[in-house]
């Protein structure tokens, strides 16, 4: 857990309360707390009311079949996610309303009305069919933040193909691992994307991955356009590689939506766990869309005139649920931005908020801490008066950052929704409802209506401080780990009987508010991204000079956590700065730049128990520069002293 006991006590005595501002509450969608009691009285009835808001080709016969740990929601129902996000809005004025408003990092723009987005999705759906993609096939999407990322997801959903979006910052090796695990047939990529003024060469990375992705038969390449495409010359392999724009130009623009079973898989999304191998989290159709649509509407209090911006990347679950599916299912205007918040300058996000009149803004604590460090002057230069609601997700937000967000961005008038959820939960689980919940800086407050959470100890007894637990199945829950039911059961359902274990620690305060304390397993949260310590360790020992490695999280002002690695070298390799850089870069090559350790300490030994288990707690203490606790169980007590001495040298 990243939060130490002292600061936790401070959090729990946090007594600043922010009731919903009257102006906001007055026009909010939820004005009565009876929604909680109503949902609790009959959870299944509550969720079926939300499901009924969607368009079904055939109704479901049973709301929930629960054979722990396997749930089926809206059994027998048939629907299509892209139909619900697009076709449904075409009968009325929404057809001509903006659906997707896109801005590239260099300032180029593209917008799509619902009708235009529909045409584009249909055409690309047909293009995929033309490449032989059929229902149930897997399609990898490895794109920058361009409209085609959303279009490709919706096109897969339309024809019943299962998408697996891989974040554009992942390395070729991470990409081929995911291609292979899912046995994907088609890969969709781009010639490149802009990031901090530089070009991310996605097609070149994809080519490197394709050398070891035997299941991929076709590659579709989006031309990013503008100066980028003038500078990058993507090599196209005849027969395998196809330009997106050529396929779409040749494709008919009428594409029947596939009638999908509520429990058909919509997508796989890989996420880090406690082993070296990421898990393919499987989400299905009916329950996923129901909870994603319901939470988008109520948590962000969507109104007809909203312009909604979620700053996540589509490569993460937040991008799936709250850039693409939730907002489009609700027919809102979605802003999508390609680039970094500090390019060309640190006012970029606020410039975009002003330019497009953003009303709802959803970002991550790591970004908020960076903005806070950049100072109040940047947001103060822009007119942010249209903003009415702010959101945060991805890690616990420290009260200071919360207060700053509330004042400097929200002008003191916008409620903040701190939303707790995970790749596995698919949708928001713990959150304020902005029209009725009095918020406190640092807590995600309470479970969304219809969601049952508890805090439990190892024995499964309810307690005020322990592990977060989800005690009933929920519509957007993961259904399994792709190809690995055993891992699904072991990871999430083995700690207690029929209760889901999310891997987070939590406490509850005297108002009944939940305080999420961070991961309790070997998963780090670096700048809001989940990275498994084992994954980084595997990448480190893959380097020929490394004999053994242990990775822990270290508190970081902006990123929340950074990665610290303790590395034992093989005898033939003397330590040097050059080797250190090489090893760090090796992690970037194996996983991606986000996983590169910020600190690497070479050590002759690692502190281990007599049974040979690495004592990470001690390593964490050392990395944090804290006094080291009990070392009596160590096989060799001198290791710690040596390590501390070495670390002190490293820091100086
Ligand atoms: C953490 C991101 C505290 C938590 C949607 C969880 C949070 C992990 C919050 C999931 C929050 C997410 N407060 N912690 N509001 N939101 N987390 O799968 O540790 O990338 O288990 O999903 O992020 O990360 P993931």
Indicate which CATH number applies to the domain containing 282.
3.40.50.12780
Please tell me the distance from the alpha carbon of residue 547 to that of residue 540, in angstroms, as a whole number: 9
Q: How far is the CA of 55 from the centre of ligand 1 (A)?
A: 30
Please tell me the distance from the alpha carbon of residue 266 to that of residue 556, in angstroms, as a whole number: 36
Which of 125-134, 303-312, 590-599, 624-633 shows the lowest per-residue confidence on average (mean pLDDT)? 624-633
Q: Rounded to whole angstroms, what are the CA distances from 451 to 26, 39, 61, 62, 428? A: 26, 8, 22, 19, 10
Residues 548 and 480 grouped into a single domain: no
Residue with CA at minimum distance from ligand 1 atom 1: 395
**Element (DSSP H or E) covering residue 426:** none
Predicted pLDDT of residue 336: 98
Contacts of residue 313, Cβ cutoff 8 Å, sequence gap at least 6 = 145, 167, 168, 319
Predicted pLDDT of residue 539: 95
Q: How far is the CA of 391 from the centre of ligand 1 (A)?
A: 13
Mean pLDDT across the stretch 48-59? 98
Residues 294 and 378 grouped into a single domain: yes
Best residue among 320, 325, 395 to mutate for probing ligand 1, ranked by most atoms within 8 Å of CB: 395
Whether 32 has a pLDDT exceeding 90, the answer reads: yes
Is the C-beta atom of 531 inside 6 A of ligand 1? Answer: no
Mean pLDDT across the stretch 568-575? 94
Is the C-beta atom of 264 inside 6 A of ligand 1? Answer: no
Whether 11 has a pLDDT exceeding 70, the answer reads: no
**Element (DSSP H or E) covering residue 220:** strand 218-222
Q: How far is the CA of 103 from the centre of ligand 1 (A)?
A: 27
What is residue 483's three-state secondary structure?
Answer: coil
Residues 549 and 500 grouped into a single domain: no
Give me the percent of the chain exceeding a pLDDT of 70: 96
526 backbone dihedrals φ, ψ, rounded to 5°: -105, 115
Predicted pLDDT of residue 396: 92
Other beta carbons within 10 angstroms of residue 119's beta carbon come to 17
Whether 9 has a pLDDT exceeding 80, the answer reads: no
Is the C-beta atom of 559 inside 6 A of ligand 1? Answer: no
Q: How far is the CA of 507 from the centre of ligand 1 (A)?
A: 15
Contacts of residue 160, Cβ cutoff 8 Å, sequence gap at least 6 = 134, 135, 136, 258, 260, 264
Is the C-beta atom of 320 inside 6 A of ligand 1? Answer: no
pLDDT band at 2 (very low <50, low <70, confident <90, very high): very low
Instruction: Please name every residue paired with 524 in a beta bridge, in sequence order, or none if there are none.
Output: 531
Mean pLDDT across the stretch 572-592? 96
Which of 300, 323, 281 lies closest to 476 in space, CA to CA?
A: 281
Q: Rounded to whole angstroms, what are the CA distances from 208 to 28, 172, 176, 189, 632? A: 50, 6, 9, 13, 48
Q: How far is the CA of 413 from the centre of ligand 1 (A)?
A: 26
The CA angle 157-213-277, to the nearest 5 degrees, is 80
Residues 418 and 529 grouped into a single domain: no
Mean pLDDT across the stretch 262-267? 99
Which of 169-173, 583-587, 640-644 shows the lowest per-residue confidence on average (mean pLDDT)? 640-644
Predicted pLDDT of residue 649: 62
Is the C-beta atom of 330 inside 6 A of ligand 1? Answer: no
Domain count across the chain: 2
Mean pLDDT across the stretch 155-173? 97
Please tell me the distance from the alpha carbon of residue 242 to that of residue 226, in angstroms, as a whole number: 19
Please tell me the distance from the alpha carbon of residue 93 to that of residue 111, in angstroms, as a whole number: 17
Q: How far is the CA of 151 from the centre of ligand 1 (A)?
A: 26
* Structure confidence by residue, pLDDT tens digits, 549-559: 999 999 999 99
Q: Look up the CATH number of the domain holding residue 617.
A: 3.30.300.30
Residues 499 and 644 grouped into a single domain: no
Residue with CA at minimum distance from ligand 1 atom 12: 394
In a domain, 12, yes or no: no
Q: How far is the CA of 393 from the centre of ligand 1 (A)?
A: 6
In a domain, 71, yes or no: yes
Domain's final residue, options 506, 534, 555: 506
In a domain, 382, yes or no: yes
Predicted pLDDT of residue 8: 62
Predicted pLDDT of residue 640: 75
Pairing verdict, β 465-470 and 504-508: antiparallel
Domain's final residue, options 447, 474, 506: 506
Is the C-beta atom of 518 inside 6 A of ligand 1? Answer: yes
Predicted pLDDT of residue 176: 97
CB 390 within 8 A of CB 412: no
Whether 647 has a pLDDT exceeding 90, the answer reads: no
Predicted pLDDT of residue 3: 43
**Element (DSSP H or E) covering residue 614:** none
Is the C-beta atom of 395 inside 6 A of ligand 1? Answer: yes
Residue with CA at minimum distance from ligand 1 atom 24: 422
374 backbone dihedrals φ, ψ, rounded to 5°: -70, -15
Residue with CA at minimum distance from ligand 1 atom 23: 394
pLDDT band at 12 (very low <50, low <70, confident <90, very high): low
How is residue 522 annotated by DSSP? S
Residues 499 and 530 grouped into a single domain: no
Q: How far is the CA of 394 from the centre of ligand 1 (A)?
A: 4
In a domain, 316, yes or no: yes
Q: How far is the CA of 364 from the centre of ligand 1 (A)?
A: 10
pLDDT band at 642 (very low <50, low <70, confident <90, very high): confident
Q: Which atom of ligand 1 is nearest to the CA of 392?
A: 15
Q: How far apart are the first and last CA of the chain?
A: 27
Best residue among 295, 316, 399, 421 to mutate for probing ligand 1, ranked by most atoms within 8 Å of CB: 421
- Residue appearing with tokens 């035997």: 214
Predicted pLDDT of residue 614: 85
How is residue 35 annotated by DSSP? H
Please tell me the distance from the alpha carbon of residue 528 to that of residue 510, in angstroms, as a whole number: 28
Q: Rounded to whole angstroms, what are the CA distances from 245 to 104, 237, 343? A: 18, 16, 28
In a domain, 163, yes or no: yes
Mean pLDDT across the stretch 60-67? 98
Residue range of the domain that includes 31: 22-506
In a domain, 551, yes or no: yes
Give me the percent of the chain exceeding a pLDDT of 90: 88
Q: How far is the CA of 64 from the centre of ligand 1 (A)?
A: 26
Residues 556 and 613 grouped into a single domain: yes
* Structure confidence by residue, pLDDT tens digits, 321-379: 999 999 999 999 999 999 999 999 999 999 999 999 999 999 999 999 999 999 999 99
Residue with CA at minimum distance from ligand 1 atom 25: 422
- Residue appearing with tokens 């499964």: 460
Q: How far is the CA of 555 from the centre of ligand 1 (A)?
A: 16
243 backbone dihedrals φ, ψ, rounded to 5°: -75, 135
Whether 612 has a pLDDT exceeding 90, the answer reads: no
Please tell me the distance from the alpha carbon of residue 457 to that of residue 446, in angstroms, as a whole number: 19
pLDDT band at 599 (very low <50, low <70, confident <90, very high): very high
Residues 286 and 166 grouped into a single domain: yes
Predicted pLDDT of residue 251: 97
pLDDT band at 1 (very low <50, low <70, confident <90, very high): very low
Whether 41 has a pLDDT exceeding 80, the answer reads: yes
Residues 50 and 125 grouped into a single domain: yes
Q: How far is the CA of 378 from the centre of ligand 1 (A)?
A: 28
> What is the distance, to the nearest Å, from the Cα of residue 212 to the centroid of all Cα atoms in its chain?
26
Whether 5 has a pLDDT exceeding 60, the answer reads: no
Residues 35 and 61 grouped into a single domain: yes
What is residue 581's three-state secondary structure?
Answer: helix
Domain's final residue, options 454, 477, 506: 506
Q: Which residue intervals of 216-364 are DSSP H helices? A: 226-231, 244-250, 286-299, 317-319, 326-329, 348-356
* Structure confidence by residue, pLDDT tens digits, 515-549: 999 999 889 999 989 999 999 999 999 999 999 99
In a domain, 136, yes or no: yes
Q: Rounded to whole angstroms, what are the CA distances from 544 to 212, 258, 390, 446? A: 21, 49, 47, 49
64 backbone dihedrals φ, ψ, rounded to 5°: -140, 130
Residue with CA at minimum distance from ligand 1 atom 7: 395
In a domain, 511, yes or no: no
Residues 483 and 381 grouped into a single domain: yes
Residues 494 and 552 grouped into a single domain: no
Is the C-beta atom of 422 inside 6 A of ligand 1? Answer: yes
């Amino acid at each position: 857990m990243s939060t130490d006991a002292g600061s936790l006590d401070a959090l729990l005595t946090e007594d600043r309360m922010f009731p919903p501002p009257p102006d906001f509450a007055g026009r909010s969608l939820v004005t009565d707390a009876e929604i909680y009691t109503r949902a609790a009285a009959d959870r299944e009835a509550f969720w079926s009311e939300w499901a009924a808001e969607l368009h079904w080709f055939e109704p479901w016969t049973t709301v929930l079949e629960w054979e722990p740990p396997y749930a089926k929601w809206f059994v027998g129902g048939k629907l299509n996610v892209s139909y619900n996000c697009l076709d449904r809005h075409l009968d009325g004025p929404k057809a001509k309303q903006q659906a997707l408003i896109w801005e590239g990092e260099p300032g180029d723009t593209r917008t799509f009305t619902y009708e235009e987005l529909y045409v584009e999705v249909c055409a690309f759906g047909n293009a995929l069919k033309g490449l032989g993609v059929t229902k149930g096939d897997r399609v990898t999407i490895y794109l920058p933040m361009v409209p085609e990322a959303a279009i490709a997801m919706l096109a897969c959903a339309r024809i019943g193909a299962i998408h697996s979006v891989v974040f554009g910052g992942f390395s070729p090796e991470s990409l081929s691992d995911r291609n292979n695990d899912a046995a994907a047939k088609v890969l969709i990529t781009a010639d490149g994307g802009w990031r901090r003024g530089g070009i991310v060469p996605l097609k070149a990375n994809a080519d490197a991955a394709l050398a070891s992705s035997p299941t991929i038969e076709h590659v579709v390449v989006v031309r990013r356009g503008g100066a980028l495409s003038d500078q990058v010359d993507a090599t196209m392999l005849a027969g395998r590689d196809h330009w997106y724009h050529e396929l779409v130009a040749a494709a008919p623009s009428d594409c029947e939506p596939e009638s999908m079973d509520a429990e058909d898989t919509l997508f796989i999304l890989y996420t880090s766990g406690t082993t070296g191998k990421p898990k393919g989290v499987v989400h299905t159709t009916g329950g996923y869309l129901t909870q994603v649509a319901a939470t988008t509407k109520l948590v962000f209090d969507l109104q007809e005139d909203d312009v909604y911006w979620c700053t996540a990347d589509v490569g993460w679950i937040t991008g799936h649920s709250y850039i693409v599916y939730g907002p489009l299912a609700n027919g809102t205007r979605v802003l999508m931005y390609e680039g970094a918040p500090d390019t060309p300058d640190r006012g970029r996000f606020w410039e975009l908020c002003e330019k497009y009149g953003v009303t709802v803004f959803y970002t991550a604590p790591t970004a908020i801490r960076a903005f806070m460090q950049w100072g109040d002057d940047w947001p103060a230069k822009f007119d942010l008066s249209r903003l009415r609601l702010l959101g945060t997700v991805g890690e616990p937000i420290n009260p200071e950052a919360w207060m700053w967000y509330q004042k400097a961005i929200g002008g003191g008038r916008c409620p903040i929704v701190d939303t707790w959820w995970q790749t596995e939960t698919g949708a928001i689980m713990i959150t304020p409802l902005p029209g009725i919940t009095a918020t406190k800086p640092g807590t995600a407050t309470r479970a969304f209506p219809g969601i049952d959470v508890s805090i439990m100890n190892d024995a499964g007894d309810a307690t005020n401080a322990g592990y977060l637990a989800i005690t009933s199945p929920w519509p957007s829950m993961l259904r399994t780990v792709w190809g690995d039911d055993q891992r699904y059961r072991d990871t999430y359902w083995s700690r207690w009987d029929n209760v889901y274990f999310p891997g987070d620690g939590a406490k509850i305060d005297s108002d009944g508010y939940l305080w999420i304390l961070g991961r309790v397993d070997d998963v780090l949260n670096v700048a809001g991204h989940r990275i498994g310590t084992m994954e980084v360790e595997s990448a480190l020992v893959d380097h020929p000079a490394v004999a053994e490695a242990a990775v822990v999280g270290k508190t970081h002002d902006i990123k929340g956590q950074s990665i610290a690695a303790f590395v034992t070298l093989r005898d033939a390799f003397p330590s040097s700065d050059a080797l250190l850089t090489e090893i760090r870069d090796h992690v970037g090559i194996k996983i991606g730049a986000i996983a590169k350790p910020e600190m690497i300490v070479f050590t002759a030994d690692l502190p281990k128990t007599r049974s040979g288990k690495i004592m990470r707690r001690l390593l964490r203490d050392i990395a944090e520069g804290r006094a080291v606790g009990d070392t009596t169980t160590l096989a060799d007590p001198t290791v710690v002293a040596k390590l501390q001495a070495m670390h002190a040298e490293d820091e100086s």
